Amino acid sequence: MKKLVVGLTAVGLSFGAVAQSDRALDLDALLKQLEEGQFTQSQQNKQREERFMQQRAQQDQILDDTRAKRDQLLQQSEKLETQFEENEFKLADLNGALDNRMGSLKELFGVLQQVAGDTKSKFQNSVISAQIPGRSEFLDNMAQEMGKSSKLASIEEIERVWFEIQREMTESGDVEAFETSVVEAGGEKVTKEVVRIGPFALVSDGKYLDYNGTTGTVAELVRQPADRYQDSASALQNSDGNIVEFGIDPTGGSILGLLVQAPTLKERVEQGGVVGYIILIVGAFGLFLAIWRLVALTITKAKVDKQLKSKEIKTTNPLGRVLKVRDTYPHADTEALELHLTEAILGEVPKLSRNLTIIKIISVVAPLMGLLGTVTGMINTFQAITLFGTGDPKLMAGGISTALVTTVLGLVVAIPMTLLYAMLNTRSKNIVYILQEQAAGVIAERAERS
């Protein structure tokens, strides 16, 4: 055991010596490397310092040049400011001299500019510009040039303004035909002969035209006015110089636009919707019944009147059938005959008042149906207001107008039905009164005999 411990100790000492020897070599190499690195870094720092000194000299030169340029620009700026102030004084003197020389002409040119602007707006919307284009552009350019500078209008420009105003006045009293491009209702652009009636209207092929001053185009109205207006337009275009009655719009198209936008009778009926059509169907049925009963009662009344004048009893009329009872019961007493006559009259009454109750019901139901359509339309209108708000008054006005159409249709049906019922009921009762009168006469005659 002792030998083994001694051997291990010797081995440990030998390994420690070797490790220490290697460590000494590494430290020497590291020290040498540090010395070499410091030398290299010192060389690089020297090179950097040399480059910085060179660049510093360049920066100093650039700074000196910039300062010199700044001083030069400052001097130039002071010189320009002085010149600007001098120019302002000169400009003020010149403007004063110009104002003194213009005198009242300055006010004249201001009025001329205002007149040119107002006339340009009038020419732009005038139908005469469809025949004489380009007038508003000249006036617009002249007004702009006079407004943005001290440029004065020339004598030629002033005379042209006067000429254009005079020409507008002259053309306002003429009816002339000319050719121009017209946009038809279908969208096709064709060249047509157009008749201009002063500053009021344009017509072509019996149709009214509309002039758009913004685009300078002439187009057919999508919706034309009533036929009588179109007939007068055709007569005017085909006239050989004779006087023709023609309706003009002195408002420059406003009345014509409202006239065109007004819905026709068919469109009014269509606004009533399903309820409106039902009212019209019921009204047509009631009118048919009323006409039928009117004809029947008229014929019956004529037969009764004829029977009154004749001694021969005919059973083709109510009075003849009632009087026939007298011959049927020649030996009946007065009370029995009266009962038989009353029975005969009661048998004729349903025939005379046939279908009158239906006509009366229609006269009562029609306005109720119209009220139903109105209430339904108002509900739809308020639903639209709930969705889109009240910002557009046309939405409310259109919905209310549509709702009231059914009320109008109901009244249109109810009023004549009420009158027809009253007339038919009166005629029916008149015939019944004749039957009762003649029956009373027969009873009185039998009573006298008995």
- Tokens standing for 178? 């000319």
| Cα dihedral across residues 270, 273, 274, 275: positive or negative | negative
Q: How far from the centroid of its chain's Cα atoms is residue 39's Cα?
A: 94
Instruction: Report strand pairing: 175-183 vs 189-197.
Output: antiparallel
Q: How far from the centroid of its chain's Cα atoms is residue 386's Cα?
A: 21
Residue ranges of the chain with per-residue pLDDT less than 70: 1-26, 30-31, 33-35, 37-39, 98-106, 147-151, 252, 389-399, 450
Q: CB of 221 within 8 A of CB of 209?
A: yes
DSSP 82-119: HHHHHHHHHHHHHHHHHHHHHTHHHHHHHHHHHHHHHH
* Phi and psi at residue 270, to the nearest 5°: -65, -30
CA-to-CA distance for 183 and 186, rounded, in angstroms?
8
Beta carbons within 10 angstroms of residue 93's beta carbon: 10
CA-to-CA distance for 382 and 144, rounded, in angstroms?
50
Beta carbons within 10 angstroms of residue 277's beta carbon: 13
Q: CB of 192 within 8 A of CB of 180?
A: yes
CA-to-CA distance for 347 and 326, rounded, in angstroms?
16
- Tokens standing for 177? 């035909």
Count the alpha carbons within 13 Å of 210 in the hemisphere toward its beta carbon: 18
Residues 6+ apart with CB under 8 A from 245: 232, 235
* CB-count exposure of residue 396 (10 Å: 0-12, 13-18, 19+): middle
Residue appearing with tokens 């006269």: 363
CA-to-CA distance for 72 and 56, rounded, in angstroms?
24
| Cα dihedral across residues 31, 36, 39, 41: positive or negative | negative
CA-to-CA distance for 220 and 185, rounded, in angstroms?
6
- Tokens standing for 102? 């213009």
**Run of H or E residues at 246:** none
